[in-house]
Structure 1
Amino acid sequence: MKLDKVKNEMIEVGLITLYFFVCFTIFMVIKKLLLIQYQITYYGWATAIIGALAMGKVVFLIDKLPMHRWLEKLRPIREITIKSVIYTGITITVSIIEKTVHFYLDEDQGSWNHHLFGGQKIALFLAHGIYLYLCFIAFYFFQYLDRHVGREVWFDNMMRKRD
């Protein structure tokens, strides 16, 4: 019985990780295409892989906490939007904390604001936030469908249409 639960949870973490890997890979490709015009080569595979692994684990663990069960009582659009805003906010906060730690560990210290948001960094930071928010919207939309329609229903319907 416990083995089945572990297997199901591993599959769930794997699917969440795969979803975020696809999202981060799409963002990496867009970033790479935008940087081509400036003749800047960009390789973000490691970032996409590590980010997806971290995001998959964190989202899975936070979703298991009972703190946001009250959201499931709201209308679907509100539940999805609020969860997406919360998770995007948490992700941006963690990113700011990470960049702050790098700032204080860096020996060539300038202004903290300039280190985090100086030059063109604010535009990239906002682009990451918007894209991440859209990824969370889609993720929680699919999670809502899975919870209310059931995985078997939409997989069976997809398989029937192929036959």
Structure 2
Amino acid sequence: MASTEDESVLVDEVDAQPPHKIDENMWKNREHLEEIIFLLDRPHWPNTLQQQSKLGDVELAPIFEEMKVKFENTLKLLEYFQSKNADNVFNTVMSYMPQDFRGTLIRQQRERSERTKQAEIDALVKSGVSIRDRYALLWKQQMERWLV
């Protein structure tokens, strides 16, 4: 049985069904990458690990830093892939729309909507919420995009 709230959340996550939508899977991967990066940051190491600078003859800090850089690069690549994929889908849909004022209105509405969604995320981050809460909002926004 888990002893803390964080451990309970982790147990619930492991027991849950895996995402069956590729998009949901990508968002979950991004969330997990950010959590790993957060934990690899030295101030977030357990106290005993921060105090113990060596494990045998191996320095842990450079190893963790190298791992952190790799995870950050993977996160950037995944974010880029999702962004390009969303743009490609939108442009494909727009290619079937009349190329007059209606297409321009749809583009403007999308840009306004994305700015509003980003402002909502920025406000949430500024309030100091967890990575998990931020990704819950991102996933909710993604579901709203599909309904529009």
> Of the two, which has the highest radius of gyration?
2
Q: Shorter-normalised TM-score: what interval? A: 0.3 to 0.5
Does 1 or 2 have the higher relative contact order (CA < 8 Å, sep 6+)? 2
TM-score (norm 2): 0.34
Larger % of helix: which?
Answer: 1
TM-score (norm 1): 0.32
